[in-house]
């Protein structure tokens, strides 16, 4: 009589199972809106801005903030107010790109601040190189403006996340869809 082998398909399935997470660079636009509203409230209450036409305008669809000030001193103060409010709301300052101030109407200064979202191809390749340099058995995949990192072991994924959190990368990184 032949001996029957036990069915070992469950352990094989577990070995084939892959875990993954996504690396993204995003800004919570609602929190950005709240930060700008708080900055405008502080602007209206500050004594050094009484009688000034300084303002902070937020365009959510275009992902820009426009600062308008009377002079350089007030523009720096406006920038400081905005940055402080953003930091208190948990928004990374790495996601901002301050353009050069330009002269506007009646001698005022206008400065556009772009809110950068997504990981561009060059940064994604740089991240891939950093992850491969760790020597772990993980796969990286660039998917548009985000990256997917997958592995058969959760511990390796957690090591990648811990390493990337410790880096001072030029853009803010968040980790989501951990499966």
**6 phi and psi, to 5 degrees?**
-75, 150
CA distance 88 to 10: 49
pLDDT at 107: 83
pLDDT bracket for residue 4 (50, 70, 90) = low
pLDDT bracket for residue 15 (50, 70, 90) = low
36 CB-near residues (< 8 Å, 6+ apart): 56, 58, 65, 82, 85
pLDDT for 148-159, tens place per residue? 999 998 899 999
Stretch among 3-12, 97-106, 109-118 having the lowest mean pLDDT:
3-12
pLDDT at 150: 92
| DSSP secondary structure letters along 43-58 | HHH-GGGTT---EEEE
Record the tokens describing residue 47, joined without a space.
């004594």
CB burial of 110-143 (b: ≥16 within 10 Å; e: otherwise) equals: bbbbebbeebeeebbeebbeebeeeebebebebe
CATH numbers and ranges of domains, the chain: 18-26+118-176 (3.30.70.860), 29-115 (3.30.70.990)
CB burial of 30-49 (b: ≥16 within 10 Å; e: otherwise) equals: eebebbbebbbeebeeeeeb
Does pLDDT of 16 surpass 90? Answer: no
């Amino acid at each position: 009589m032949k001996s029957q082998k036990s069915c070992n398909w469950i352990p094989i399935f577990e070995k084939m199972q892959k875990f993954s997470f996504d690396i993204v660079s995003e800004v919570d636009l609602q929190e950005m809106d709240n930060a700008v509203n708080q900055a405008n409230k502080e602007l209206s209450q500050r004594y050094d801005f009484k009688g000034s036409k300084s303002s902070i305008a937020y365009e959510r669809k275009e992902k820009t903030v426009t600062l308008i000030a009377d002079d350089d001193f007030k523009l720096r103060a406006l920038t400081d107010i905005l940055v402080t409010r953003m930091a208190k709301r948990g928004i990374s300052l790495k996601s901002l790109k301050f353009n050069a101030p330009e002269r506007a109407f009646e001698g005022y200064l206008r400065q556009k601040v772009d809110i950068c979202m997504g990981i561009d191809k060059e940064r994604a390749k740089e991240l891939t190189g950093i992850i491969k340099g760790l020597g772990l058995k993980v796969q990286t995949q660039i998917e548009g403006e985000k990256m997917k990192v997958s592995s058969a072991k959760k511990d390796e994924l957690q090591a990648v996340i811990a390493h990337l959190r410790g880096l001072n990368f030029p853009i803010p990184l968040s980790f989501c869809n951990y499966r």
